[in-house]
Structure 1
Amino acid sequence: MRILLTNDDGIDAPGLAALYRAIESLGEVHVIAPALVQSATSHAVTFHRPISVEKRGLGYAVSGRPADCVKLGLHALVEEPVDLVISGMNSGANVGINVLYSGTVGAAREANFNGIPAIAVSLHIGDWEHDHWDRAAEHARRTIDQLITGPMDGDTLLNVNVPVLDEGAEPVGVKVAPVSLSKMVVDYEPGTDDAGNPTYRVCNTMTFAQREPDTDVAALYDKYITVTPLHFDTTCPTNTPAWAELLGD
């Protein structure tokens, strides 16, 4: 199996290294990741400047976004066809409406645009030391092993989140759950820059207004590994006929 591994935390991120170690026995793993942290860049790509590529660490460091890494990997850097794209392991969960902001999920979605199955992997991280990354990557690897035995095709886009666990604890299990639509509680910390202009730093980025039952957010807080099948078709099937009728289409 030929795998393209990327992330949004950058080529030097411990989550990328841990996931690489966990999956390298699956086959031929090509690491193509951003040179710098690109968190919350969603599906952004680079159009108006060249993208530089440097051999570094586990593979290639790219001056663009996570989706750029996948584009370059599939169309320029990996010579043979890629069978699977894995994005992660992200530092921080990507559940609820965070999937729309996530560069980790955006990279996996780019693979889907190109007809390649993809798995995004994130860790609901607390105040963890580096040695916990390997434990989380092992949990992710076991889940990936199960997933790749299923109906993986070019429409497959799976979002996997690993819960934060106490030392020695294990996940309760694996739960397939839909995305929570609960709004997030957003607070801004005010400050000033060197010129005296006001600044605002977002905080509480993983605080949800509620934990809707039977959703990815609730399951993750209940210590399940969550798996959510996603799709990039953003057309609303329920409202389309009504708008067509209104406009006489």
Structure 2
Amino acid sequence: MNILVVNDDGIDAVGISILAKYLEKYGDVFIVAPLQQQSANSHSLTIRRSFKVEKRSERIYGIGGTPADCVKFAKYKFDLEFDLVVSGINDGPNLGNDIFYSGTVAGATEAALNSIPGIAVSVGSKNDFTLAKKELEDVLDYVINEKVYRNNIVLNINFPNNKYSTSKGIRITKQGVRKYETVFELSNDSYKNIATLSLTDNDQDTDVYAWDNGYVSITPLLINRSHVNYIDEIKKRG
């Protein structure tokens, strides 16, 4: 199995080295990751400028681009068929509304857009990979050995909040709601976006609830965002 590993925290981040090491048991691992931090850059692409490429080894490259760029570049550079793309491990959760902004999820989504199974992996709390290190292998065994992944689908995996030293198990969840209160703080002539969490989801079937209650959440995400039922409803109006 050919496995591509990408992330949005950068090629020197802690999470990507942990993830790549664990994935070696499943096949040949290739790494293409941003040279700089790309958090919250969502699914952006570099199209109006060139970018730097830094070769670390035959299978490891850093690029001056985004997570989506990394997937596209890997397909070009290595000239082989990837069986799986895994993005992460992100330094912090990607739950609910986070999904739309996440570079980590975007890396997995770019894979799905190319008919490659994409998996995004995130820890439950900033700067704490303790639980992920303990349980990542079990989670990956479940996802890969049971072939939970599919082409054209993104699996968004989140480990629970670090108030839990071990998880209560895996839950298959739907995307929840995680809203933020945004304030723009002026400093000299510049504004800084200061976001604080203002609302979390109490629906027990969601990724947000699982994260806050000690479960590893696996959320299957579609790349086709059409609301089919609403299309039919509009058509019925004549």
| TM-score relative to the length of structure 1 | 0.87
Question: What code does the residue aligned with 1:226 have?
Answer: S
Moved more, 3-12 or 142-151: 142-151
Partner Cα separation in structure 2 for residue 77 and residue 245 of structure 1: 49
| Residue in 1 that maps onto 2:52 | 52
| Residue in 2 that maps onto 1:171 | 167
Q: Which structure 2 residues correspond to residues 3-82 of structure 1 after superposition, within 5 A?
A: 3-56=3-56, 59-74=60-75, 76-82=76-82
Q: Which has the higher strand share?
A: 2
Deviations 1:168-215 (A, max 9, x none): x211110011011x35131325231xxx325232232x5534433321
1:81 partner SS: coil
Deviations 1:52-79 (A, max 9, x none): 21113881111111000001112x1223
| Residue in 2 that maps onto 1:145 | 141
What is the percentage of aligned positions where both structures have the same residue?
33
Deviations 1:98-140 (A, max 9, x none): 1111110011010011110111000012453xxxx36513422
Q: Report if the CA contact (8 A) 1:126-1:164 is conserved.
A: no
| Residue in 2 that maps onto 1:230 | 221
Gap change, CA 1:136 and 1:79, over 3 Å in 2: same
The number of residues matched between the two structures is 236
Gap change, CA 1:188 and 1:28, over 3 Å in 2: same
| Residue in 1 that maps onto 2:181 | 186
Question: What code does the residue aligned with 2:180 have?
Answer: V
| TM-score relative to the length of structure 2 | 0.90
Gap change, CA 1:161 and 1:65, over 3 Å in 2: same
Gap change, CA 1:151 and 1:89, over 3 Å in 2: closer
Indicate the RMSD between aligned Cα atoms, in angstroms: 2.1
Partner Cα separation in structure 1 for residue 182 and residue 110 of structure 2: 31
Structure 1: 5+ residue runs without aligned partners? none
Q: Report if the CA contact (8 A) 2:142-2:148 is conserved.
A: no
Question: What code does the residue aligned with 2:108 have?
Answer: A
Partner Cα separation in structure 2 for residue 21 and residue 91 of structure 1: 17
Question: What code does the residue aligned with 2:24 have?
Answer: E
Q: Report if the CA contact (8 A) 2:91-2:125 is conserved.
A: yes
Question: What code does the residue aligned with 1:154 have?
Answer: N
Partner Cα separation in structure 2 for residue 80 and residue 90 of structure 1: 26
2:228 partner SS: coil
Moved more, 150-159 or 25-34: 150-159
Q: Report if the CA contact (8 A) 1:179-1:216 is conserved.
A: yes
